[in-house]
Amino acid sequence: MKRLGVLTTGGDCSGLNTVIQRLYRGATLRGWELVGILDGTDGLCATPPRAITFDNTTLPIEAARLAGSFLHNGRTGALNFETAAKTGDLARFNRKLRKSLLELKLDAVILIGGNGSLSLAWCNREIYSGLQLVCIPKTIDMDIPLTDKTIGFDTAVQQLTSFCDQLMLTARSHHRWFVTQTMGRDCGQLALNAGIAIGATAILIPEIKFDVNSLIKHIKKSPRDYGIILVSEGISLRGHSGRPADMISRKLTAAGLENRTAYPEHTQRVGDTTASDRILAARMADCALRAIENNETYVMTAINNCKCETVSLADFFASGDVTTDPNIPDLKTSDAYVSPDDPLLEIATNMGIYLGETK
């Protein structure tokens, strides 16, 4: 009988509980045991490691649709890769993770995380030596290379779309523009997808340069005197500081455009998991379990050309834009961004949405 460990790391999102529940069901049908590691790498640093063994009552199927992680994702400031690096304790931290995994007597580890967590897993792969390591990509940012979809993204787009749908009604009532700041870090996929869904007047994303004066002219030429300007949190405006939405709002106010700012914040990370994300979670859970059956290790589940299959973590890391992690010195993270040939860019342009300096 195989003994599997599963943990969720990084930021939370909808779909985590679905994939955990599907992993438990699939493991049980194979006669395997599933151990849930609480609080991600923080839980592995506890003595003894914080973990639970799943049974039929641990995570009911009706709760699998809920957002967040039943296993938790760790506490701010707790011992993890970031805090260990800041205190110069990274080597000791890695040894502790390794020791805890051995104490739990695991045959395989399923790590559900974003591009930072997956990059960390690959760069510190000696921690998992002798174990099978299978990663499942989840993030509302959609910034993971080598997969067309990530768990949590579709629900986040729906959450942001619903938020903006309501804003549009009050915007119309008051002849007002709403500058709405989205999550997404340095990737504009969340803003781009939601912006097309709501019919935004403008979508500003980190991948595309924009001119404020051109933006203002576009808004003033709009057939409406209300609407939404979606601003991804990763954009910058030369010579200005503060939150991106505030910076754009001040420019619009100076140009005589009545506006307000709106921050959906962590509502983008929650919401009942959409059917699309639940199906994706089930497919990736099944793919991860098949990978363990086939004795694969150091792999990531991925959706490409509608097929769910594994790709190597080495290929994942090498295929992205490898940059220095802003929080962990000497660590590199593999990032994906909105491609210049993304068909949604042309669709947005054809809808009359201002994007910036596109070709």
CB-CB contact of 67 with 268 (8 Å): no
As a whole number of angstroms, the distance between CA 20 and CA 17 comes to 5
Active site residues: 141
> Which amino acid is residue 352, in one-letter code?
G
Which residues are CB-neighbours of 40 under 8 A, at least 6 positions away?
7, 8, 9, 10, 71, 72, 73, 74, 80
| Each residue's pLDDT tens digit, 111-141 | 999 999 999 999 999 999 999 999 999 999 9
Q: What contacts 24+ positions apart, CB below 8 Å, involve 320-328?
A: 320/115, 320/144, 320/145, 320/146, 325/116, 325/119, 327/82, 327/85, 328/81, 328/82, 328/85, 328/120
- Please report the pLDDT score of residue 143 as a whole number: 98
Q: Is the model's pLDDT at 38 over the cut of 90?
A: yes
The predicted model gives 338-343 an average pLDDT of 96
**Predicted pLDDT of residue 326:** 73
pLDDT in tens, 217-238: 999 999 999 999 999 999 998 8
User: Which domains, and CATH codes, for the chain?
Assistant: 3-152+273-319 (3.40.50.450), 157-268+340-350 (3.40.50.460)
Model confidence over 90-116: pLDDT tens digits?
888 899 999 999 999 999 999 999 999
Instruction: Residue 39: name the closest of 2, 69, 67, 74 by CA.
Output: 74
Closest CA to 66 of 14, 112, 21, 20: 14
* Over residues 39-65, mean pLDDT: 94
- Give the rounded percent of residues in the chain with a pLDDT score beyond 90: 88
Q: Is the pLDDT of residue 330 over 80?
A: no
Residue 329 reports pLDDT greater than 80:
no
Percentage of the chain beyond pLDDT 70 is: 99
pLDDT of residue 359 exceeding 70, the answer is no
Phi, psi of 188, rounded to the nearest 5 degrees: -95, 10
DSSP 138: B
Are the C-beta atoms of residues 132 and 108 closer than 8 Å to each other?
yes
Q: To which residue do tokens 């506890």 refer?
A: 46
Residue 85 has pLDDT above 90, yes or no: no
pLDDT, position 37: 97
Please write the tens of the pLDDT for every residue from 163-174: 999 999 999 999
- Per-residue pLDDT at 182 exceeds 90: yes
Angle at which helix 16-29 crosses helix 275-293, to 10 degrees, equals 40
pTM (2 decimals)? Answer: 0.96
Per DSSP, 141 falls in state S
Asked whether 199 and 172 are in contact (CB, 8 A), the reply is no
